[in-house]
């Protein structure tokens, strides 16, 4: 398995090098030329979109005060009965990062999604290596949403994270079976009710253990990722963590 992962990384790196030779890279956020730049974001955009957070909740990734024991959660997540083991985020859903997440919903935003996924990987590379995940799973959308939303943000994010980790991205384990209003339009209580029985396993699938990383763009109440995690655990996964671009705080 380790040899396969190394080969996947090498192929991905060569493909990226060839793409950059034909299409010189520019910043995915502001389109500034990135000649000789190793990242997909210019220094200015990266400074605005990748906040420096010294202390985070170990369970939900929310910023917290110093010297707090958050192994069992923090004020933002202690009351949540998640089946998720941990959440990893790039930063809070605020300011420039919030604007970027809203841009991800628009057509043509794949380069920005890829850039943010690269930054998410860079932020947590060390911890993710220790976790030794087996699969990366994007949060699925209902087929009716897929008809009018050309950009599937979780899929783009998962493919970048999976390539960086040298892991397969599995999109055929969980499906969304109920068409629901968008979570962003609802209160916290409504969000939890909105997704009840919304996800189900794909017929004929089964997992024999394994540690899974579920990927989405934003986590606020955690309902979406948690519902997907519950299905994966029912299928036989050993544990499920979530990786998101932004951790929403508030409603």
pTM for this entry? 0.85
Q: Which residue is it, tokens 């189900």?
A: 200
Q: What is the DSSP track for 218-232?
A: EESS-HHHHHHHHHH
The number of helices, as runs of H, and strands, as runs of E, in the chain is 8, 6
Q: What domains are there in the chain, each with its CATH number?
A: 54-247 (3.40.50.2020)
Q: Which pLDDT value is given to residue 57?
A: 97
Contact 25, 34 (CB under 8 A): yes
- pLDDT at position 1 is 44
* The pLDDT value given to residue 178: 87
Crossing angle of helices 95-103/110-131, nearest 10°? 110
pLDDT of residue 22: 38
pLDDT of residue 6: 43
pLDDT of residue 196: 80
| Contacts with 62 (C-beta within 8 Å, 6 or more apart), sequence order | 56, 74, 76, 77, 92, 247, 249
Strands (E), 62-198: 87-92, 135-138, 174-176
- Residues 6+ positions from 21 with CB-CB distance below 8 Å: none
Contact partners, residue 211, CB within 8 Å, separation at least 6:
131, 132, 133, 134, 237, 238, 239, 240, 241
Inter-residue contact 66 to 239 (CB < 8 Å): no
Alpha-carbon torsion (132, 71, 174, 207), positive or negative: positive
Report the C-alpha gap between 231 and 66 in whole angstroms: 35
Give the mean pLDDT per block of 10 residues along the chain (251 residues): 44 42 72 81 95 95 94 93 97 96 92 96 95 96 68 92 97 90 67 80 94 97 95 97 94 59
110-131 vs 153-165: helix crossing angle, rounded to 10: 40
Report the pLDDT value the prediction gives residue 17, as an integer from 0 to 100: 39
Distance of alpha carbon 160 from alpha carbon 163, whole angstroms:
5
Is residue 249 a contact partner of residue 62, using CB atoms and an 8 Å limit? Answer: yes
């Amino acid at each position: 398995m380790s040899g396969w992962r190394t080969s996947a990384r090498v192929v991905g790196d060569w493909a990226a090098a060839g793409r950059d030779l034909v299409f010189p890279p520019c910043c995915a956020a502001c389109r500034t030329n990135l000649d000789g730049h190793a990242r997909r974001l210019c220094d200015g955009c990266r400074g605005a979109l990748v906040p420096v957070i010294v202390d985070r909740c170990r369970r939900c990734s929310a910023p917290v005060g110093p010297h707090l024991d958050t192994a069992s959660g923090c004020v933002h997540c202690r009351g949540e009965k998640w089946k998720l083991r941990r959440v990893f985020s790039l930063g809070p859903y605020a300011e420039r990062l919030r604007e970027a997440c809203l841009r991800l919903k628009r057509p043509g935003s794949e380069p920005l999604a890829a850039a943010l996924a690269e930054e998410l990987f860079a932020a947590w590379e060390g911890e993710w290596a220790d976790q030794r995940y087996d699969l990366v799973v994007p949060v699925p959308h209902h087929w009716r949403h897929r008809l009018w939303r050309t950009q599937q943000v979780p899929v783009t994010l998962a493919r970048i994270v999976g390539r960086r980790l040298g892991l397969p991205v599995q999109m055929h384990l969980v499906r969304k079976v109920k068409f629901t209003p968008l979570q962003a339009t609802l209160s916290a209580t409504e969000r939890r009710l909105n997704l009840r029985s919304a996800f189900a396993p794909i017929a004929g699938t089964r997992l024999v253990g394994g540690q899974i990383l579920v990927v989405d763009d934003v986590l606020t109440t955690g309902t979406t990722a948690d519902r997907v995690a519950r299905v994966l655990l029912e299928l036989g996964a050993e544990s499920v963590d979530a990786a998101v671009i932004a951790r929403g705080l508030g409603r």
